[in-house]
Amino acid sequence: THIPLSGRNPMLQEALGIRPHILVLNKMDLADPHRQPVSTGVLATSQSRPVRALLPVCLQIVPLVAKLVSNSPRYQRAENIEYCIMVIGVPNMGKSSLINSLRRLHLKKGKATAVGGEPGVTKAVLTRIQVCEKPLMYLVDTPGVLPPKLGDVETGMKLALCGAIRDHLVGEDIMADYLLYTLNKHQQFRYVQRYGLAEACDDIEHVLKRVALTLGKMQKVKVLTGTGNVNVTTLDYSAAAYELIRAFRAGHLGRVTLD
């Protein structure tokens, strides 16, 4: 079943062809359960709560990979029984977290690759990382990949809100504006109570003002006057926009499926 997710790279799908592979969906626990795609063999993980949410996925991945490889005549190698699998996907989706969780579950070992809450932590293809002894399985961590050219602006905004594109490359204020539009479109008005608004609003400047006032996001600005420089304290709208985006990614603004 084709799953029309904006983060899927159509070039990778074409290159994979009939090769056995497993699709792992991320952030399932933060999304609207009534709008989730359903497909046989699809696994879901969450980077936000890796210990709890990754455990059932890790228990499924190793036997599922072994079954896929063993059932493929092309990959039958009697003299070499080890499995070497590449982990690919968009940036900041939890590839390294998945590898570390598999390693911790099956080998009782600590972290083998660095993780972070922003894209670009993994900068190069790493050496093979053993994640299981029986069967002998190695995973290769890779940097996040995106299509060389996004089809439209909205797809780019969705990927940016999910953390697949660095925030400063898009602009936190622009992302916050699109996020507010999306929340109102899906009638997710939890932000109203969280930031003390009187009612739902589509004016991002008004919302960011309330966010800044509620969280105390202030900044000092130097103003040039006729008598000298004066430091004036003003609301930090950029910090407010960043906090609004962080709240969305943490699930504090409701369970929203962007696609």
Known binding residue 238? Answer is: no
* Total residue count of the chain as it appears in this document: 259
Rg, C-alpha atoms of the chain: 22
Known binding residue 17? Answer is: no
Known binding residue 94? Answer is: yes
Known binding residue 218? Answer is: no
Residue 219 CB coordination number (10 Å): 13
Q: Round to the nearest angstrom and report the end-to-end CA distance of the chain.
A: 16
* Cβ density class 27-65: b for 16+ within 10 Å, e for less: bbebbeeeeeeeeeeebbbbbbebeebbeebbeebbeeb
Residue 228 CB coordination number (10 Å): 7
Known binding residue 96? Answer is: yes
Known binding residue 71? Answer is: no
Is residue 68 within 8 Å of residue 22, measured between CB atoms?
yes
Known binding residue 97? Answer is: yes
Known binding residue 11? Answer is: no
Q: Which residues contact 168 (CB under 8 A, 6 or more apart)?
A: none
Known binding residue 144? Answer is: yes
How many Å apart are CA 24 and CA 33, to the nearest integer? Answer: 16
Residues annotated in a binding site: 26-29, 92-97, 144
Residues annotated in a binding site for GTP: 26-29, 92-97, 144
